[in-house]
A and B are shown apart, each in its own frame.
Chain A
Amino acid sequence: MDLNYSPEEKAFQLEVREFLKENYPKDIQQKVAKGIALKKDDYVRWQKILANKDGWVAPGWPAEYGGPGWTPVQKYIFDEECGAANCLRTVAFGLVMLAPVLMKFGTVEQREKYLGDILNSDVWWCQGYSEPNSGSDLASLQTKAEKQGDHYIVNGSKTWTTHGHYADMMFTLVRTSQEDRKQKGISFLLIDMTAPGVTTTPIITVDGMHVVNQIFLENVKVPVENLVGKEGDGWTIAKSLLMHERTYIAQVPRSKKQIARLKELASKERYNGKPLIEDAAFKAKISAVEIELMALEMTNMRVLSKLSSGDAPGAESSLLKVKGTEVQQAITALLMEAVGYFGMPYVKESMTDGWQEEPIGPEEASVLAPHYFDWRKSSIYGGSNEIQKNIMAKAVLGL
């Protein structure tokens, strides 16, 4: 039992670190560090840099599709270094979610048509799963696709669509038939966001920002070749998609960086004439989160060690999701608490690029409460934490 990297892995770690130091744009790094809202251009710029470095933008892709073909440990190291360097997290929809689906279930034509553009961030994807009346009970979705000749006619609505307003394409779960078992009539369809009948409406979240959208689909014509797999395969495909990148889901490197940010902030803030971080009660709260994160990191590594020795992974992704989001949320709460009164002023402009005014109270304080509220999403998205517990109860405990 040991936690040390091999000499080759250490060399790789150094290579990644050097590359990030040389090539990660400083302006994007500043935005990530300060918690300023990111734009599509930031993502595209960074993702293209990574893509041009031997496909580093797609750590999970095999070499035959232009990925680096890394081992699980190499992927982990890359993720760790990116977190430590405050890197912008690449957008998962095309790279992490759709691409493996196309590799596994797509036709040769579909792979040729889409994978290259995903790798180079030339086509931007969003995910069309949730509907206004289908959240945790995703299989109850009602968006209908009726086959007419060589097209499907799609009607319905998708919601909580992250980056829908940036997207060129949407991978979507639609109902192609009414079966007695609701999972059976679902299909996986790729929809052009510029097609007539597609309307994107912003949803402003509690932090005042526009990231998610509702998408309306009204008699949208989708060519039959945009169906992935067979009709009725949608549920199986969606489930397999959730199994990808399970060690990535916990976001341990990002949380480590956020803990460091919290400690720095608590060292600058003062209380009773001393740095806040010397306050025993506040320090104990930080420690409790750090301990959770330590456990999570080690659980992550245990999963990784299993994957590396060729074992089939189990339902660990649910555990990593629940514990990972609990830690993320706890840190946002402590960051907000660290600035005391100065969590209160609402300075919306400070959350976007180019704001030059004098901050109210500590620098960066004004983004902390909005971030705290925004991160409530993490225990809701990707299958709510309660749904994850249902999965663990069934899959692990047999209840």
Chain B
Amino acid sequence: MNLEFSEEMVMLQDSVLKFLQNEYDFETRQSLSRSGIGYSEDNWQSFAEMGLLGIPFDEEFGGFGFGQTGLIVVMEAIGKGLVVEPYLASIVLGGLLIQRAGSEEQKEAILPALIGGELKLAFAYVERHARYNLTDVEFKAELQGDQYCLSGSKSVVLNAETADKIIVSARTSGDNFSEQGISLFIVDKNSTGLTSRDYQTVDGLRASELTFDNVMVDQAAIVGELDNALPAIEYVIDAATAAICAEGVGVVTELRDKTVEYLKTRKQFDQPIGNFQVLQHRCVDMFMTEEQMRSLSYLAAIKVAEGDGTERTKSVSAAKVYLGDARTIVGEQAAQLHGGIGVTDELDVAHYVKRLAMMNALFGDRDYHLQRFSQA
């Protein structure tokens, strides 16, 4: 039993945190978020040089081979820095999906370029009516001759705007809600018939509504097993959920830290408000939530790395329930304890609170995961 990070991981962590400290202050983040593509292509190249883009991938494709637990340190750092670069969309969702389900040819064509920062992916799986149900797939792919014709819409596709290729889930057979009959296709972003409505999200990231109007693809575009892509989709959503739980730990650590510091400096009634026990205990509640989240985020990563099954489902959903709780226990309280300044656009605190709130909806909210845990 060992729950410490390896020396290599600690070194990676140090280099990410140093990068964030030197190159990524809050003002920089805000201007990047509001700029053209919503992040910095230079930063993305720096991430590639630092090796961050290769953390979870097998060594034979140029990765570090650190797997899911390796993602913990980079995702925590992303949370701490409110990083806007498309790590979750491209590396975690896109890359891990290819690593899990892709053919050898697809892996060889995609992973080295992804790790090198030359190619980006996005994963389109959300449908307007489906909420968090991954089997509620109406998006159609029909065989016409020796090609598939893709038609339908996908919503809130993270960082689709700058992705070179989109992986999309589609129904190839069976009725809606059927676990069988779901397939994955990888499609060039600039395919004929694929249109994109791009927007900023509340927490300063980018997403798109994608419409596929009879987009034709070869059979080589199928990722994984035809009609049987659900296990791969469930895997990658669990992997991404575990990853954002680690990101949430970073967000919560910053919020707790900033709130405690504020309480030490803000004076009212002739003393630092941190002297007041009612506020101290709230900070302790934040701290305890942070530590319990950290524990569950480690557990979720370990169980995702171990393979499919009930233990993965339970630990990932447990971590996500806690992330949902953190929205209230940490997010709302951080804003409250900062007083008026906590709800201004100028202060970073409000933006951490926003990210925490949006993460609740991402990959299923607290209620969804509590129920999923119950039924597992």
A contact residues, range: 35 or more
Instruction: Kindly list chain A residues whose C-beta atoms are within 8 Å of the C-beta of B4.
Output: 1, 305-306, 309
**Distance in angstroms between the alpha carbons of A288 and B302 in the assembled complex:** 21
**Distance in angstroms between the alpha carbons of A286 and B299 in the assembled complex:** 20
A-B contact count (CB 8 A): 115
Closest Cβ of chain A to B274, distance in Å, is 5
Of the listed stretches B164-172, B233-241, B288-296, name the one at the interface; the rest are far from the partner chain.
B288-296
Closest Cβ of chain A to B64, distance in Å, is 14
A194 at the interface (CB under 8 A from B): no
Q: Is the CB of A295 within 8 A of B3?
A: no
Q: Is the CB of A291 within 8 A of B69?
A: no
B373 at the interface (CB under 8 A from A): yes
Q: Is the CB of A390 within 8 A of B1?
A: no
Q: Is the CB of B264 within 8 A of A1?
A: no
**Distance in angstroms between the alpha carbons of A286 and B293 in the assembled complex:** 19
- Asked if A298 meets B299 with Cβ closer than 8 Å, knowing A1-B69, A284-B371, the reply is yes
Closest to B274 in A: A399
Closest to B321 in A: A291
Q: Is the CB of A397 within 8 A of B299?
A: no
Within 8 A of B (CB), among A291-327: 291-292, 294-296, 298-299, 301-302, 304-306, 308-309, 319, 322-323
- Asked if A295 meets B69 with Cβ closer than 8 Å, knowing A3-B1, A323-B288, A397-B283, the reply is no
Q: Is the CB of A294 within 8 A of B296?
A: yes
B246 at the interface (CB under 8 A from A): no
> Which listed residue (B277, B291, B371) contacts A390, Cβ 8 A?
B277
B16 at the interface (CB under 8 A from A): no
Q: Is the CB of A398 within 8 A of B264?
A: yes
A393 at the interface (CB under 8 A from B): yes
A2 at the interface (CB under 8 A from B): yes
Closest Cβ of chain A to B236, distance in Å, is 21
Instruction: Kindly list chain A residues whose C-beta atoms are within 8 Å of the C-beta of B295.
Output: 295-296, 298-299, 301-302
**Distance in angstroms between the alpha carbons of A302 and B293 in the assembled complex:** 12
Instruction: Kindly list chain B residues whose C-beta atoms are within 8 Å of the C-beta of A19.
Output: none
**Distance in angstroms between the alpha carbons of A344 and B56 in the assembled complex:** 56
B260 at the interface (CB under 8 A from A): yes
Instruction: Kindly list chain A residues whose C-beta atoms are within 8 Å of the C-beta of B318.
Output: 290-291, 294-295
Instruction: Kindly list chain A residues whose C-beta atoms are within 8 Å of the C-beta of B274.
Output: 399
**Distance in angstroms between the alpha carbons of A4 and B264 in the assembled complex:** 42
B202 at the interface (CB under 8 A from A): no
Closest to A397 in B: B260
A5 at the interface (CB under 8 A from B): yes
Q: Is the CB of A398 within 8 A of B260?
A: yes
Q: Is the CB of B370 within 8 A of A287?
A: yes
Instruction: Kindly list chain A residues whose C-beta atoms are within 8 Å of the C-beta of B35.
Output: none
Q: Is the CB of A1 within 8 A of B2?
A: yes
Instruction: Kindly list chain B residues whose C-beta atoms are within 8 Å of the C-beta of A389.
Output: 280-281, 284-285
**Distance in angstroms between the alpha carbons of A328 and B260 in the assembled complex:** 29
Instruction: Kindly list chain A residues whose C-beta atoms are within 8 Å of the C-beta of B293.
Output: 295
B322 at the interface (CB under 8 A from A): yes
Q: Which of B274, B284, B294 counts the most A-chain CB atoms under 10 A from its CB?
A: B284
Closest Cβ of chain A to B290, distance in Å, is 10
**Distance in angstroms between the alpha carbons of A390 and B274 in the assembled complex:** 12
**Distance in angstroms between the alpha carbons of A389 and B2 in the assembled complex:** 29
**Distance in angstroms between the alpha carbons of A113 and B260 in the assembled complex:** 49
Closest Cβ of chain A to B257, distance in Å, is 9
Closest to B317 in A: A291
Closest Cβ of chain A to B305, distance in Å, is 8
Closest Cβ of chain B to A280, distance in Å, is 7
- Asked if A319 meets B291 with Cβ closer than 8 Å, knowing A301-B3, A302-B3, A305-B1, the reply is yes
Closest Cβ of chain A to B168, distance in Å, is 33
B39 at the interface (CB under 8 A from A): no
Closest Cβ of chain A to B360, distance in Å, is 15
Closest Cβ of chain B to A222, distance in Å, is 38
Q: Is the CB of B280 within 8 A of A393?
A: yes
Q: Which of A287, A396, A398 counts the most B-chain CB atoms under 10 A from its CB?
A: A287
Closest Cβ of chain B to A232, distance in Å, is 29
Instruction: Kindly list chain B residues whose C-beta atoms are within 8 Å of the C-beta of A280.
Output: 371, 374
- Asked if A298 meets B1 with Cβ closer than 8 Å, knowing A290-B373, A389-B281, the reply is no
B208 at the interface (CB under 8 A from A): no
B221 at the interface (CB under 8 A from A): no
A73 at the interface (CB under 8 A from B): yes
A386 at the interface (CB under 8 A from B): yes
- Asked if A295 meets B296 with Cβ closer than 8 Å, knowing A1-B69, A393-B281, A393-B283, the reply is yes
Closest Cβ of chain B to A5, distance in Å, is 6
Binary contact readout B1-40 vs A (1 if CB under 8 angstroms, 0 otherwise): 1111100000000000000000000000000000000000
- Asked if A390 meets B280 with Cβ closer than 8 Å, knowing A294-B315, A322-B288, the reply is yes
Q: Which of A5, A304, A389, A396 counts the most B-chain CB atoms under 10 A from its CB?
A: A389
Instruction: Kindly list chain A residues whose C-beta atoms are within 8 Å of the C-beta of B285.
Output: 389
B87 at the interface (CB under 8 A from A): no
**Distance in angstroms between the alpha carbons of A399 and B281 in the assembled complex:** 10
Instruction: Kindly list chain A residues whose C-beta atoms are within 8 Å of the C-beta of B291.
Output: 299, 319
Within 8 A of B (CB), among A58-77: 73
Within 8 A of A (CB), among B224-272: 260, 263-264
**Distance in angstroms between the alpha carbons of A365 and B301 in the assembled complex:** 40
Q: Is the CB of B260 within 8 A of A291?
A: no
Binary contact readout A1-27 vs B (1 if CB under 8 angstroms, 0 otherwise): 111111001000000000000000000
> Which listed residue (B287, B322, B370, B374) contacts A396, Cβ 8 A?
B287
**Distance in angstroms between the alpha carbons of A390 and B293 in the assembled complex:** 21
Q: Is the CB of A1 within 8 A of B3?
A: yes
**Distance in angstroms between the alpha carbons of A113 and B234 in the assembled complex:** 63
Nearest 6 CB-CB pairings of A with B: A298-B295, A393-B280, A295-B292, A305-B3, A291-B318, A299-B295
Known contacts A298-B299, A301-B3, A301-B295; 17 further A-B pairs (Cβ under 8 A): A1-B2, A1-B69, A2-B2, A3-B1, A280-B374, A287-B373, A287-B374, A290-B373, A291-B370, A294-B318, A299-B295, A305-B1, A306-B4, A309-B4, A393-B280, A393-B283, A399-B263
Residues of chain B at the chain A interface (Cβ within 8 Å)? 1-5, 69, 260, 263-264, 274-275, 277, 280-281, 283-285, 287-288, 291-296, 298-299, 301-302, 314-315, 318, 321-322, 370-371, 373-374
Could you list 30 examples of A-B contacts with CB < 8 Å? A2-B2, A3-B3, A4-B1, A9-B1, A280-B374, A283-B374, A284-B370, A288-B321, A290-B318, A294-B296, A295-B296, A295-B322, A298-B296, A298-B299, A299-B295, A302-B298, A308-B1, A309-B4, A319-B287, A319-B288, A322-B288, A323-B292, A386-B281, A389-B281, A390-B280, A393-B281, A393-B283, A396-B284, A396-B287, A397-B260
